[in-house]
Amino acid sequence: MSIIIPANSAAGGGGFSVANSCMFNSADTASLSKTPSSNGSNTVWTVSMWVKRAGTAAGKLHAAGTSSTYEFLFDDTNFGLTLYNGSATIFVTSRSLKDSSSWYHIVLAYNTGASGTDKVKLFINGVQETSFATDNRSSAGTMNHINQNVVQYVGRTHAGGPFNGYLAEVCIIDGTAYAASDFGEFDEDSGIWVPKDVSGLTFGTNGFYLDFEDSANLGNDVNGGTDLTENNIAATDQATDTCTNNFATVSSATPATGNLTYLRSGNLELKQNNNPYAWPTTLVATTGKWYWEQKVSALGTTAVGVLKQDKFPQNGSLFYPFVQATGFAYKNTGNKGNNNNDSSYGASYTNDDILSVAFDQTNGTIWFAKNGAWQNSATKTEIENGTTTNSAFSSMSTNGEFYGPFIYTDGSTVVFSNFGNPFFAISSGNSDGNDFGNFEYEVPTGYFSLCSKNLAEFG
């Protein structure tokens, strides 16, 4: 089955571009809601949305009603998709959708006038799902809450179970059962499923369309209906991480057992509990020049830098990345670490300091900054020219090795990551040369944020 891969290059070549998504943080119990003034169709409707999961828990996508209700969600058992109507489970998919590095497009088309299992069609990235662990689609009847005069939620269940991650291009259709091809298409060059402009679709009496392009009104119904109410959603929850430009986040694929307190805020806020561990990111380049920032919120033992990708720990093992020859780190003590060599480098850092990383993957050279000041007397001009005299490390890459960003934590540590799509407020605002990213400090010329469009061009 096709998925939107982390280094999605299809969106870089034109076509319909999605500018924004909305980040739903489960810790905030964030959601959107509204109650239609009258009933719509409870027999024919469509839900379409692009989804990027975050964290390590299941998430709730859409719900309608108050007590006995309709819910469409990631289930808590295996991250399969579940459709629930009151006391009846209509379906549970057989396979899991656990990938938190990629965007999924999900379309659920409901039509009780159709025959057999065609009453309920589920499409994932343009392909109709045919394998279900629980399958009661043939007996599906009216939905007494969807599109009806009861509260409609996006990003939570009626009981309050929140979604954790990003949603984009949310379409609730009243009165029409659309196919996936009405919302997306396979790119003819890459074969990757990409979005289409949906503004020409018929949304019906209670349908709505959320594009999240107005940060002051993230519940804006672009279709022209009553806007949705924002519940614990702020302007900073508007994201540029979308299904046409996928940004790096901290990976939740192999969490350290017993170490992780939480990974939330779109997988950009990491809180460490105890014991040493290195947390990788979801996007990695094999060449090119890259820039990112990390903000220390609570300081334990912390280090940022890069690590050879095949050296990341698995299955929750403890890990000291700068003890190995393939880890290169700037530590909170101000020292730099590599190959069990802890040596003097720059200033120490603590709570609320912002660290910048400029990494030349092609030539294996890395520089670090604290609050905009490049360490070891390095200058922005040096970095742009590739002068290695005052770099933290150089000549890192040999034999085709490639490295990815990591955060090292030990003890009580909270780190905010910004790979170009920050979840916290930026006071100045700086983008890269392709006009991607939103950073606190100026990006050196020739360096780029870690997103799929930049990776397609430079990585």
Confidence tier at 99 by pLDDT (50, 70, 90): confident
Q: What pLDDT does 186 receive?
A: 96
What average pLDDT does this structure show over 355-360?
97
How much is the average pLDDT of 427-456? 97
Task: Please report which confidence band the pLDDT of residue 58 belongs to, taking 50, 70 and 90 as the band edges.
Answer: low
Quick one: tokens of 276? 């040493």
Strand partners, 290: 359, 448
Residue 4: is its pLDDT beyond 70?
A: no
Q: What is the pLDDT of residue 260?
A: 63
Residue 85 in tokens = 């109507």
pLDDT for residue 9: 37
State residue 309 phi and psi, 5-degree precision.
Answer: -65, -35
pLDDT of residue 445: 98
- φ/ψ of 354, rounded to 5, equals -110, 125
Average pLDDT over residues 222-242: 96
Helices (H), 236-391: 380-385
- Looking at residue 3, what is its pLDDT? 34
Question: For all residues of the chain together, what is the average pLDDT?
Answer: 87
Q: SS3 for 163?
A: coil
Q: Which pLDDT score is estimated for 263?
A: 82
Which range (77-91, 137-151, 356-370) has the least confidence?
77-91
- Map tokens 């984009």 to a residue: 168
For position 258, what pLDDT does the model report?
Answer: 52
76 in Cβ contact with 26 (< 8 Å): no
In the chain, what percentage of residues exceed pLDDT 90? 61
What is the per-residue pLDDT for 422?
Answer: 95
Q: What domains can be seen in the chain, in order of their start residue? A: 10-239 (2.60.120.200), 260-458 (2.60.120.920)
85, pLDDT greater than 50: yes
**Nearest-CA neighbor of 287 among 45, 459, 435, 54?**
459
Predicted pLDDT at 13? 43
Distance (Å, whole) CA 429 – CA 427 = 6
DSSP notation for 31-54: EEEE--SS---SSEEEEEEEEEE-
CA–CA dist 305, 173 (Å, integer):
46
What tens digit of pLDDT does each residue of 298-337 get?
Answer: 887 888 999 876 665 544 444 455 545 578 899 999 999 8
Phi, psi of 277 (to 5 degrees): -160, 150
Mean pLDDT computed over 169-175? 97
Length of the chain equals: 459
Full-model pTM: 0.92
Question: Beta 132-135 vs 152-154: how paired, if at all?
Answer: unpaired
DSSP reduced 3-state for 430: strand
91-107 mean pLDDT? 90
**Minimal CA–CA distance to 167: which of 120, 233, 79?**
233
pLDDT-based confidence at residue 442 (cuts at 50, 70, 90): very high
Strand partners, 156: 162
* Bridge partners (DSSP) listed for residue 356: 293, 369
* Cα(298)–Cα(303) distance, integer angstroms: 13
End-to-end CA distance of the chain: 25
Phi/psi at 51 (5° precision): -130, 130
Give the tens place of pLDDT for each residue, 105-127.
999 999 999 999 999 999 999 99
The pLDDT tens digits of the residues spanning 379-415 come to: 999 999 999 999 999 988 656 667 889 888 877 888 9
Q: From residue 247, how far is each of 20, 115, 124 by CA, in Å?
A: 12, 41, 21
> Taking Cα atoms as reference points, which of 281, 254, 251, 249 lies closest to residue 403?
281
What mean pLDDT is predicted for residues 242-246? 97
Question: What does the pLDDT look like over 255-285, one tens digit per residue?
Answer: 555 556 778 899 999 887 767 777 788 888 8
Query: pLDDT at position 77, please?
Result: 64
